[in-house]
Structure 1
Amino acid sequence: MNFNYGSSSYIPPSSSSSSSSSDDNYYEDIQNQVVSQITANNNFLITHNLSNSEGSHGGSIPGHVVINRDRETSSRNLFSDYFSDNPLFSETMFRRRFRMSRPLFMHIHDAIQRHDNYFVQRRDGVGRLGLSGLQKITAVFRMLAYGLPADSTDEYIKIGESTAIESMKRFCRAVVEVFGSSYLRTPDANDVERLLQIGESRGFPGMLGSLDCMHWKWKNCPTAWGGQYAGRSGSPTIILEAVADYDLWIWHAYFGLPGSNNDINVLEASHLFANLAEGTVPPANYVINGKNYNTGYYLADGIYPKWSTLVQTIHDPRGPKKQLFAKKQEACRKDVERAFGVLQSRFAIVAGPARFWSKKVLHDIMTTCIIMHNMIIEDERDVDATIEERTEVPAAEVEMTGEDDARFQEFLARHRKIKDREAHIELRNDLIEHLWSEYTNSEN
C-alpha cells in the first residue's frame, strides 16, 4: 500500500527569495501539504476497512446520542410503586402486571443477582449509580409478559433499547442455568406416583400427561432458511413439543425443530422416551381391566404413531363403549392445549412473532417462559386440592449389566417395546373396557 507521504509534485520556492515572508510561506506550504496528505491517507484507510468489513445484524442506532434519562429517579419510583413496604400498587395489580406474586418475583430476582453480577447495581466511572437489578429485570418482564419491543420500556423504566435487549438475553440464560434443573426436570418417583393417581382419578390409570406440539412464528428468520422453517401457514415457525399434566405443569419441552416438520418427525427427534429406552425411569405400576402394566403412557392426537406409550382417540367411534372412550380421551388430552394457551397468555412474547435472529436466544426465551410458568403453578397450586400426596416412593433401581453387548440388546428390547403396535391396541382396548365399567357402575 503506497501512502505517498513525500510528494514529488511539490516545488520549493526559488533560492533567490531571501525575505522572511518567503520563508514563512515555504514552511506553511509544507505544513498544508503534509496535513492534506495525512487526511487523504486516513480517508483511504477508512474506506478500505468499511468495504472489507463483514455485515452483521443490528448495529448502532442512527443519530445515537447520550440521553440523561434520570435513571436514579426512575429506580426510586419503581421501588415505591411495587417493592416498598407500602407500595402504591396492590398485590393483585402486581400479579397482573408481572404474572406472578411479589415474593416469587423477588426470589427470582435475588437468585439471578447471585448468579450474574450484571444485575447488581454499580457505579460508573464518574461515580454515578447505574441501572438497578429491579429496573433491568422489570424491563425483561415487560417484554416477556406483554411482548413489547425493547424500545417501549424506556419511557417508564428509563432503560435504553440495547441495554434492555442485553438484559433479556442474560436474564433468560441465567434462569435456565439456575432453575432449569428443578423446574424443567423429568418426573422422579414421587412425581410419577402422583401423576398415576391423578390419571386414575380421571379414568385413565397409567396416564402421565398429554403430548402435543405448538408453533412459534419466527418473524426475523434468515431468508436462506425460510423454506426450511416454513410451516403450514407458509410463514417460518419453530416447533415446541411439550407434555403437560392436569395442573398444566409442563414436564417435557423440546424446542428448535423447523416448522416444516410434522409431529411425528419431532417425536422421533426428541428425547421424550430416551430415559425409558435406557431403563432409568421410575416404576409406573398400575392395573387396567385386571391386567398389570409397568409403563406409563401419554394421551395424544391422531397424527401420532400407534406406540405402546401413546394413546390416541378413535375417529368415527362405533358403539357406546368406543364413543365414551373417545369423549373421555379428547377431554383429558386438552390438558396440553390448555397449557399452551396459559403459557401464551402469561408470556405474550411466545404468542406473537419472534423478533430475535439467533435460535439460541429464542431457545432461552422459550425455556425461560416454561420454567417461570412452572414456578407460578408451584407457587399458586394447592397441593391437596386435587389429590393427596402418598408416602415417599423409593427411587428406581436400574440393574446394570457388565457386558456392553448385553446392555445394548436390553436397550433395543426396551426401544422395540416402546413402539409395539400390538401392545398399543391391547392397552387401548383395556382402557375402553375400564372406562365403560366405571361408567356403568356409576350409573347403577
Structure 2
Amino acid sequence: MAHYAIQQDVRDTASSSRTYTRHDDRGESHNRLFRDYFAEESKFNETFFRQWFRMSRWGFSALQRCTSAVRKLGYGSNPDSLDDYLNMSERSSRDTLNAFCVGVVKLYRHEYLRRPTRTDTQRILDHRASYHGFPGMLGSLDCTHWAWDNCPVAWRGQYTRGDHHKPTISLEAVASQDYGTAPLVHCTVNGIEYQYPYYLVDEIYPRYAMFVKTISHPTGEKRIRYAKTQEAARKDVE
C-alpha cells in the first residue's frame, strides 16, 4: 500500500504540474489528502496514516483538553492520571495544562491579573470595614499544607510535621502589592492614628506594621472579644 501511494502521488504530481498553476496544485493536494485519509469512506485507514506520517490522524477535542486541565488544577492530579479514561499520555496532558493556563492568562489578564488601582483598593477597604468591622483591613493571610505523595524518601523528614502524618508542602497567600501605593487610611485605635491598611494574620507571622495578629491566650473580656472577632474575620481566607 505504501508503494502504491508513493507511485500514485508521483503520477498525480507529474500530471498536475503541466496543467495547473501553483495555487491549483495546493487545492488539489488538499482535496487528495482529504479523500485519502479524512473522508467518511477514505482510501486508507488511520493505521496507515500513523505509519506514513508518524502521528495520529485525529487530535484531542477541546472537551478532552479542558477536562484534563481543570482536573489537574482542581485536584492536583498527576499528568497521567486520566490516561485510561481520556487516552491522553503524560506529555500530552502536561502540554494541555500549559496551553490552558496560557489561554486563561491571555483572556483575563487585563481584567483580573493586573495590579489593583486605588479605586479597587478603596472598595476592598470599605467592604472590610462594613462587613467585618475592621477599618483599614485589606484582607487576611494564611497558609495551607498540600500533601506531597511523591516526596523522595530521603526528604520526608524535612517536610513532615507532627500534626501531619505525611510529607506536605506549605502554600501561603502573600501580599505582593506595594504598600506605599495603597490609599491612606485614617483610623484611630486605642488613641493611636493609623494611616496605612493592614492584613489579619495568626501568631506564626512576624511582628510587622502591616500585620494585625490575634491573641494566642486572651485574658479578660476585651481581649477575648477581640480574639474571637479577629479569628472570625480571618475565616474568609480559608
Q: TM-score range by the shorter chain?
A: 0.5 to 0.7
Given candidates 312, 325, 332, the residue that maps to 2:226 is 325
**Residue 285 of structure 1 corresponds to which residue in structure 2?**
185
TM-score by length of 2: 0.62
CA change 1:314–1:147 in 2 (3 A) is closer
**Residue 187 of structure 1 corresponds to which residue in structure 2?**
116
Cα shift at 1:190? 1.6
1:9-55, CA deviations, whole angstroms, 9 ceiling, x for partnerless residues? xxxxxxxxxxxxxxxxxxxxxxxxxxxxxxxxxxxxxxxxxxxxxxx
Distance in structure 1 (CA, Å) of the matches to 2:152 and 2:68? 27
Structure whose alpha-carbon radius of gyration is higher: 1
- Correspondence 1:139 to 2:68: yes
State whether residues 184 and 195 of structure 2, in contact with CA within 8 Å, keep that contact through their aligned partners in structure 1.
Answer: yes
Amino acid at match of 1:238: I
**Residue 178 of structure 2 corresponds to which residue in structure 1?**
275
Cα shift at 1:297? 0.7
Distance in structure 1 (CA, Å) of the matches to 2:160 and 2:217? 32
| SS state at 1:318 partner | coil
Cα shift at 1:155? 5.3
**Residue 170 of structure 2 corresponds to which residue in structure 1?**
239
1:364-409, CA deviations, whole angstroms, 9 ceiling, x for partnerless residues? xxxxxxxxxxxxxxxxxxxxxxxxxxxxxxxxxxxxxxxxxxxxxx
Amino acid at match of 1:275: D
Distance in structure 2 (CA, Å) of the matches to 1:296 and 1:222? 42
State whether residues 299 and 310 of structure 1, in contact with CA within 8 Å, keep that contact through their aligned partners in structure 2.
Answer: yes
Q: Tell me, which stretches of 5 or more residues in structure 1 are unaligned?
A: 1-123, 243-251, 253-271, 338-444
Distance in structure 1 (CA, Å) of the matches to 2:102 and 2:165? 30
Distance in structure 1 (CA, Å) of the matches to 2:183 and 2:103? 33
Distance in structure 2 (CA, Å) of the matches to 1:175 and 1:229? 32
State whether residues 298 and 309 of structure 1, in contact with CA within 8 Å, keep that contact through their aligned partners in structure 2.
Answer: yes
Cα shift at 1:142? 3.0
CA change 1:229–1:319 in 2 (3 A) is closer
- Paired-residue identity, %: 45
Cα shift at 1:146? 4.8
Superposed CA RMSD in Å reads: 3.3
TM-score by length of 1: 0.36
- Correspondence 1:130 to 2:33: no
Q: Tell me, which stretches of 5 or more residues in structure 2 are unaligned?
A: 1-51
| SS state at 2:59 partner | coil
Cα shift at 1:329? 0.7
Alignment of 1:155-166 (within 5 A): 157-166=86-95
State whether residues 182 and 197 of structure 2, in contact with CA within 8 Å, keep that contact through their aligned partners in structure 1.
Answer: no
Amino acid at match of 2:172: E
**Residue 195 of structure 2 corresponds to which residue in structure 1?**
294
Amino acid at match of 2:167: P
Cα shift at 1:184? 4.7
Amino acid at match of 1:304: Y
Given candidates 153, 159, 164, the residue that maps to 2:82 is 153
1:323-344, CA deviations, whole angstroms, 9 ceiling, x for partnerless residues? 221221111011112xxxxxxx
Distance in structure 2 (CA, Å) of the matches to 1:302 and 1:147? 29
Cα shift at 1:299? 0.7
**Residue 216 of structure 1 corresponds to which residue in structure 2?**
146
| SS state at 2:142 partner | strand
Aligned length: 183
**Residue 43 of structure 1 corresponds to which residue in structure 2?**
none
Distance in structure 1 (CA, Å) of the matches to 2:234 and 2:222? 18
Cα shift at 1:177? 6.4
